[in-house]
């Protein structure tokens, strides 16, 4: 019976979240393609065999497919969903039909259509944050322990996941940011933590552990650390904001997440950050399930906005197969004022596909290793 409950908590919310984000992304492509006069033949959520669908008055087939791990819009004349190469159908298109085929559009229109998907993900994230700020108030991440790092000061002192820190050395703590700040202010390495565990108060004395981390300038520095990470939970402090203030805060939050993600990727590429943090769909499903078990709609919305930003950002990377690859090709064609050779595009596509598949394999391995450690690695 437990496995049925886990399927509900992990699989169902994950599919809902993924379906929403894929729909938003592809809707961006779809709307701009339509506005540019390009005919969209298929709008699919998922891949493989169709399980449900209908045709709209413009001849677009809207469908839900069997494998719900992505989606696509297929435009007139495309060989595949990536719109990177012409299909056999494209060779037989009439001059009138070519006017409505993505492949025969000027680079400027192709660029707009390619960027529209990631842009839709960003707009969606801003709207989610904006709604939270305007209708509910300011988001805070509570000082609840989401992970105790193995071998850290927190682990040695007996801190546990879901402990809520109430105060450090007598100073009240209301958010995870407060927790980090108070730890940074400790000069003698000793932290007396007032915590709440399963509704009961508890006091722990922790001797902070010197740990080597990367400083703001990219250099290695030694810092006294507690050794805990935040939990995927969001709380709200009521604060009346105007619509403009809510929008500005939402845009700031979106930029902060984008900046942090880019810096994290840069650290991985330069070897300054552990690549074990790279996760895939299994990790996303796991995190979605953990949040759904907490029955927190707020946390689910924030996590969805976070993933929407990451989906938009990832798709802007200049890798063929991704939207960013199409953007790169369009920019080259705009600058050179000539169409790129089809053979070159084909080789770029193959290289991009190989990179994406390698990343997918690596992320899946990390996900499985993480799950094994979670289930069997601890007593």
DSSP bridge partners of 205:
192
**What does the pLDDT look like over 273-313, one tens digit per residue?**
666 667 777 777 777 777 777 667 778 888 899 999 999 99
Catalytically annotated residue among 26, 42, 182, 253? 26
**What does the pLDDT look like over 77-129, one tens digit per residue?**
776 555 555 555 666 778 888 888 888 899 999 999 999 999 999 999 999 99
0.85 surpassed by pTM: no
Comma-separated ranges of CATH 2.30.42.10 domains in the chain: 143-230
Rounded to an integer, what distance in angstroms lies between the CA atom of residue 192 and that of residue 208?
10
Q: What is the phi-psi region of residue 164: left when phi exceeds 0, alpha when psi lies from -120 to 50, beta otherwise?
A: beta
Q: How confident is the model at residue 43 (pLDDT cuts 50, 70, 90)?
A: very high
**What does the pLDDT look like over 244-270, one tens digit per residue?**
999 998 999 899 889 878 877 877 777
Multiple choice CATH, 143-230, 3.40.390.10, 2.60.40.10, 2.30.42.10, 3.30.300.30: 2.30.42.10
Tokens 């709440």 — which residue? 196
Q: How far is CA 106 from CA 130, 286, 328, 334, 352, in A?
A: 35, 43, 14, 9, 23
Rounded to an integer, what distance in angstroms lies between the CA atom of residue 326 and that of residue 115?
9
- To the query of whether residue 150 is one of the catalytic residues in this protein, the response is no
């Amino acid at each position: 019976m437990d496995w049925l409950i886990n399927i509900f908590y992990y699989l169902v919310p994950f599919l809902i979240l993924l379906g929403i984000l894929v729909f938003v992304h592809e809707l961006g492509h779809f709307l701009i393609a339509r506005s540019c006069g390009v005919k969209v033949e298929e709008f699919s959520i998922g891949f493989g065999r169709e399980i449900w669908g209908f045709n709209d008055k413009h001849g677009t087939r809207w469908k839900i497919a069997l494998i719900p791990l992505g989606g696509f819009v297929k435009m007139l004349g495309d060989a595949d969903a990536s719109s990177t190469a012409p299909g056999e159908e494209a060779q037989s298109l009439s001059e009138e039909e070519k006017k409505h085929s993505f492949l025969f559009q000027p680079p400027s229109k192709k660029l707009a259509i390619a960027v529209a998907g990631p842009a839709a993900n960003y707009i969606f994230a801003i709207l989610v944050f904006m709604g939270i700020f305007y209708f509910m108030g300011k988001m805070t991440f509570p000082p609840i322990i989401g992970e105790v790092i193995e071998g850290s000061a927190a682990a040695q002192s007996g801190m546990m996941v879901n402990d809520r820190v109430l105060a450090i050395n007598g100073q009240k703590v209301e958010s995870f940011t407060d927790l980090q700040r108070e730890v940074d202010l400790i000069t003698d390495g000793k932290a007396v933590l007032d915590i709440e565990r399963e509704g009961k108060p508890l006091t722990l004395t922790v001797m902070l552990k010197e740990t080597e981390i990367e400083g703001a300038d990219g250099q290695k520095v030694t810092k006294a650390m507690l050794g805990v990470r935040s939990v995927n939970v969001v709380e709200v402090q009521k604060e009346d904001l105007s619509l403009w203030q809510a929008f500005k805060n939402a845009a700031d939050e979106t930029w902060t997440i984008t900046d942090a993600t880019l810096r994290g990727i840069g650290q991985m590429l330069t070897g300054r950050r552990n690549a074990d943090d790279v996760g895939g769909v299994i990790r996303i499903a796991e995190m979605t399930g953990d949040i759904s078990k907490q029955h927190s709609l707020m946390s689910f919305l924030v996590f969805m906005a976070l993933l929407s930003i990451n989906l938009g950002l990832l798709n802007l990377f200049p890798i063929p197969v991704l939207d960013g690859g199409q953007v790169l090709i369009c920019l080259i064609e705009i600058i050179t004022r000539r169409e790129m050779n089809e053979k070159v595009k084909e080789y770029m596509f193959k290289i991009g596909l190989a990179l994406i598949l390698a990343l997918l394999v690596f992320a899946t391995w990390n996900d499985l290793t993480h799950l094994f450690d979670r289930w069997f690695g601890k007593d």
